[in-house]
Amino acid sequence: MEWLSDPQVWLSLVTLTVLEIILGIDNVVFISILAGKLPVEQRAKARQMGLALALITRVLLLCGLAFMVKLTKPMFVVLGHSVSGRDLILLVGGLFLIAKSTHEIHAKLEGEDGEASVRVAPTFVSVIIQIMLLDIVFSLDSVITAVGMSNQLGVMITAVIVAVIFMLAFSGHISGFIDRHPSLKVLALSFLLMIGVLLVAESFHQQIPKGYIYFSMAFSLGVEVMNIRMRSKRKADSQVKLHQAYR
């Protein structure tokens, strides 16, 4: 337990916790979107169960560090490119994200709003299964980051637990905000579509600087927040004018 008195360990814990929270935001957004398809009384339970499963997945992967190391070793070669277990998980996860995000965007623009198709309400179990599949993909990225940031298993597990607790505390607010602003849901799905493309590229060993991805997300989100504020202001002004007209 001597590492508890080491300032470097505490610094790495804080840094890693912040990174885990940042990496977990996309997971929270997708869980919120999937949970939003359920009846209101089941949404909070689905979000909590989804994040609890994410915590269990991350801790199990951290405890199986030997297994994680094997995932990065080449399994076979295709057209001169080595393929590892991590590459396969990233490829399948990326394709799943692309397909799921595209389907959700189509349902949002053509299904619910355009009434172009009849949708079958998803069950609680089907939503949890989808969350579990996504947790595996997002947990892989999160755990690889943790392993690269620290060599203390206790620090890695503590950072993951703190990050998930933080996400549990704010997942309801994030979900409510997305539900109140449908345009944000489409924007979030577009982000997840972009993350899916990033995962597919990484599975083929094509490294895309994530700084570009985060900047584009932050810029798009900033523009949309300004649009929301302008729409709210116009709505408030029109209500004031309407009230004055009836006086």
- Pairwise CA distance, residues 233 & 179, whole Å: 19
- Residue type at 198 in one-letter notation: L
- Give pLDDT tens digits for 164-208: 888 888 888 877 777 777 777 788 778 778 878 888 888 888 877
| Tens digit of each residue's pLDDT (9 = 90 or more) over 17-39 | 877 777 677 778 778 888 887 88
Whether the model clears a pTM of 0.75, i.e. scores above it, the answer is: no
Predicted confidence (pLDDT) per residue in 48-74, tens digit: 888 888 888 888 877 776 566 567 778
Helix or strand holding residue 135 (H, E): helix 124-149
Lowest-confidence region among 46-50, 102-106, 118-122, 229-233: 118-122
What are the boundaries of each domain within the chain? 2-208
Q: Is 185:108 a contact under the CB 8 Å cutoff?
A: yes
State the alpha helices, DSSP H only, in 36-111.
40-63, 65-71, 85-106
64 half-sphere exposure, CB direction, 13 A CA radius: 12
